[in-house]
Amino acid sequence: METQEKKIILSGIQPTGTFTLGNYIGAVRNWNKLQEEFNCIYMIADMHAITVRQDPAKLRQNTVQAYALLLACGIDPEKSIAFIQSHNKCHAEINWVLSCSTQFGELSRMTQFKAKSEKHPDDINAGLFTYPVLMAGDILLYQSDLVPVGVDQKQHLELARNVAQRFNQRYGELFKVPEPYIPEVGAKVMSLQDPTAKMSKSDDNPNGCIYILDDKDTIIRKFKKAVTDSEAVVRYAEGKDGINNLMTIYSVVTGKSFEDIEKEFDGKGYGDFKLAVGEAVADHLEPVRSEFDRLMNDKAYLKECYTKGAEMAGRIAQKTVSKAYRKVGFVDFR
């Protein structure tokens, strides 16, 4: 990671299965580009994952695969810090301090807590309620300037900002107050079967979600089944949620504007358009799939990368933890 003065940007993703096309377009794809402009810190958020019950063996497997996917998507461990969250104890340590600067009412208003509680009514655990504080700690540990967030994560970043400001007011300046980084295009990819809902790996309809490790035939088949409308005209407009979603995806993977896309498919039907989108997405993701396979066959290299990443992240985070502990009045240990 370069040491010259650049803004610090942090982001993480949970290892709860293969990244979707939505994860890729809305977040991971942009991380590759960001590391050229910023000092980037990327983590696999395995601590967040256990707010919902996980099979331990599967979680370990998913965590390593998620790390390999980060590298396959272009994250360079020589340019960025890339690590696994649970390998850095500072995340757990700062969590308690920040919990004591977070209001119960703030957490009770978190919309994702409400949504996950409804989805998992038999396991509404304390971690599910307080994990936005852990997320705040993830961000504040590294004095992050910017945090790439999707629309549905803005509330959590706002909480991190509030906690940072409250701590600074009580104990003196320590935490940098982060700003959101939201991509203008592709920030939110919708389900292919219900274009009013976000694409999600938990979609009940398997045809609604594209995984970045899906093979070409699977990707094309899913796009052929994508929900559109009865107008049969490829144009971006209100009330055309399915076509708008496909145009957004096609625009991101080809670099074409909506105007160019409309001209390209003028006089053509939705069948031609959906096939073109599927082929473009499959071709765009092929290098990722190939590199992922190569990395998963070199476990020693992966371990070397995530161990080095955790050590680098730990050195930065420990400085913040030590300062925070001293500010709240804890006796120095070393």
- Residues with catalytic function: 116, 198, 201
Name the DSSP letter for residue 40. E
Residues in the chain: 334
208, 55 Cβ separation under 8 angstroms: no
Residue 138 identity (one-letter amino acid): D
Strand-pair category, 179-181 with 8-13: unpaired
Residue 14 identity (one-letter amino acid): Q
Element (H, E) at 307: helix 299-328
Name the DSSP letter for residue 255. -
Three-class secondary structure assignment of 65-114: HHHHHHHHCCCCCCCCEEEEHHHCCHHHHHHHHHHCCCCHHHHHCCHHHH
Residue 181 bridge partners (DSSP): 148
Element (H, E) at 10: strand 8-13
Edge-to-edge strand list for the sheet holding 8-13: 81-84, 39-44, 8-13, 146-148, 179-181
Q: How far apart are CA 57 and CA 64, in angstroms?
A: 11
Task: Please give the C-alpha separations between residue 312 and each of 68, 73, 96, 171, in angstroms, as whole numbers.
Answer: 18, 21, 22, 27
Give residue for tokens 């995806």. Answer: 249
